[in-house]
Amino acid sequence: MANNPIAAFREALASAGVILHPSETIRADGVLHRARSAEDTPGKVSCWYRLHLDNPPAGAGGDWRTGARVNWCAKSQRSLTAKERDELRQRIQREQAERKAEEQARHREAAQRAAWVWNHAQPADARHPYLSRKHLAPGIARQRGASLVLPVLDFGGYLRGVQYIQPDGQKRFIAGMKKAAAWIPAGPRPDGSRPLWIAEGWGTACALQAMRPEVCCVAGLDAGNLASVAIEARKRWPALDIVICPDFDAIGRQKGQEAAEKARARIVPPPADIPPGATDWLDVLNARQGVAHA
């Protein structure tokens, strides 16, 4: 492995959670490359990397979907000469700037595509299978083909992307979207005038909005994004009452607690008596209203 920097680099990527698809061949030409992850479906590209073989061999890589990333060098910092350390530092700074520009370009392009999709989508059919199964009103949802379309916003009111929900409940975001601190409204957009309640999914946020009409509810997209949404809200409104409303599973509780601690927010615990099969507050609301959840 020591004599094969490409193999060592690939192993370093995998150790950091950046697992390239077996079909991906690493090109060590010092150029920023996009690559499929092991979990990417055909046509989707979630990973990036750049590898130099000049002395010392070094590279960096990451996964835009998960946020995982790593810097790698074939030599340890202690074994580098002063000249090598300086050259490596300059190279890293230069490539970080290039990578940031590339990422910003991806985000802009995703936002442009999302705006086109949102502007060309029609009002959602109230009989859409997902809405019917979850006993949800269309609300802000639009529809394109068989998919529901939801707007993904930031606190500046900028459309970052869209979320698609298929009739069977499968969800995905438009590729390349900047996810951190983004959210989906369940009612009026937050402006700091009312307590902000942050749930994971849009359906759950809608349920909480129905149960607590005096507050402002948004969907933080998923458990892992709760903290970034709450932290950004806290920066904007230092004195605002922010409440984290995670799902009832172990991941939801863990990420919800982390978000509450980082953003100095409160957290809503699961109800004392969780209805059989209920995993979130939408299921609880449906159970209280005597309808089955799915």
| Residue span of the structural domain in which 275 resides | 123-288
Q: Looking at the structure, tell me whether residues 189 and 228 fall in a common domain.
A: yes
What is the pTM (predicted TM-score) of this model? 0.74
294 part of a folded domain:
no
Q: Looking at the structure, tell me whether residues 28 and 152 fall in a common domain.
A: no
242 part of a folded domain:
yes
Of 75, 110, 145, the last residue of a domain is: 110
82 part of a folded domain:
yes
Q: Looking at the structure, tell me whether residues 258 and 193 fall in a common domain.
A: yes
128 part of a folded domain:
yes
Q: Looking at the structure, tell me whether residues 181 and 254 fall in a common domain.
A: yes
Strand 171-173 and strand 184-185: pairing?
A: unpaired
C-alpha separations of 92 from 23, 53, 75, 86, 258 in Å: 27, 14, 15, 10, 31
Q: Looking at the structure, tell me whether residues 164 and 280 fall in a common domain.
A: yes
Q: Looking at the structure, tell me whether residues 147 and 265 fall in a common domain.
A: yes
Query: Can you tell me the distance from the alpha carbon of 253 to that of 268, in angstroms, rounded to the nearest whole number?
Result: 10
Of 80, 110, 140, the last residue of a domain is: 110
Per-residue pLDDT of the chain (294 residues; tens, 9 = 90+): 557 899 999 999 999 999 999 999 999 988 889 899 998 888 788 899 989 888 788 888 988 878 788 888 888 777 777 877 787 777 777 777 877 888 888 899 999 999 999 999 999 999 999 999 999 999 999 999 999 999 999 999 999 999 999 999 999 999 889 999 999 999 899 999 999 999 999 999 999 999 999 999 999 999 989 999 999 999 999 999 999 999 999 999 999 999 999 999 999 988 888 888 889 999 888 888 876 555
Q: Looking at the structure, tell me whether residues 151 and 39 fall in a common domain.
A: no
265 part of a folded domain:
yes
Q: Looking at the structure, tell me whether residues 153 and 104 fall in a common domain.
A: no
Of 110, 136, 157, the last residue of a domain is: 110
Q: Looking at the structure, tell me whether residues 30 and 131 fall in a common domain.
A: no
Q: Looking at the structure, tell me whether residues 238 and 172 fall in a common domain.
A: yes
How would you write the chain as a 3-class SS string?
CCCCHHHHHHHHHHHCCCCECCCCCCCCCCCCEEECECCCCCCCCCEEEEEECCCCCEEEEEECCCCCEEEEECCCHHHCCHHHHHHHHHHHHHHHHHHHHHHHHHHHHHHHHHHHHHHHCEECCCCCHHHHHHCCCCCCCEEECCEEEEEEECCCCCEEEEEEECCCCCEEECCCCCCCCCEEECCCCCCCCCCEEEECCHHHHHHHHHHCCCCEEEECCCHHHHHHHHHHHHHHCCCCCEEEECCCCHHHHHHHHHHHHHHCCEECCCCCCCCCCCCCHHHHHHHHCCCCCC
40 part of a folded domain:
yes
Instruction: Tell me how many domains the chain contains.
Output: 2
Q: Looking at the structure, tell me whether residues 58 and 183 fall in a common domain.
A: no
CB 241 within 8 A of CB 196: yes
Give the CA-trace dihedral at 170, 43, 37, 40, to 10 degrees.
Answer: 20
118 part of a folded domain:
no
Q: What is the CATH number of the domain that holds 233?
A: 3.40.50
Sign of CA dihedral 208, 210, 216, 219: positive
Query: Can you tell me the distance from the alpha carbon of 142 to that of 119, in angstroms, rounded to the nearest whole number?
Result: 10
Q: Looking at the structure, tell me whether residues 59 and 163 fall in a common domain.
A: no
117 part of a folded domain:
no
Long-range Cβ contact pairs of 239-244 (< 8 A, separation 24 or more): 240/192, 240/195, 240/196, 241/195, 241/196, 241/266, 242/195, 242/196, 242/198, 242/266, 243/195, 243/196, 243/197, 243/198, 243/215, 243/267, 243/268, 244/198, 244/268
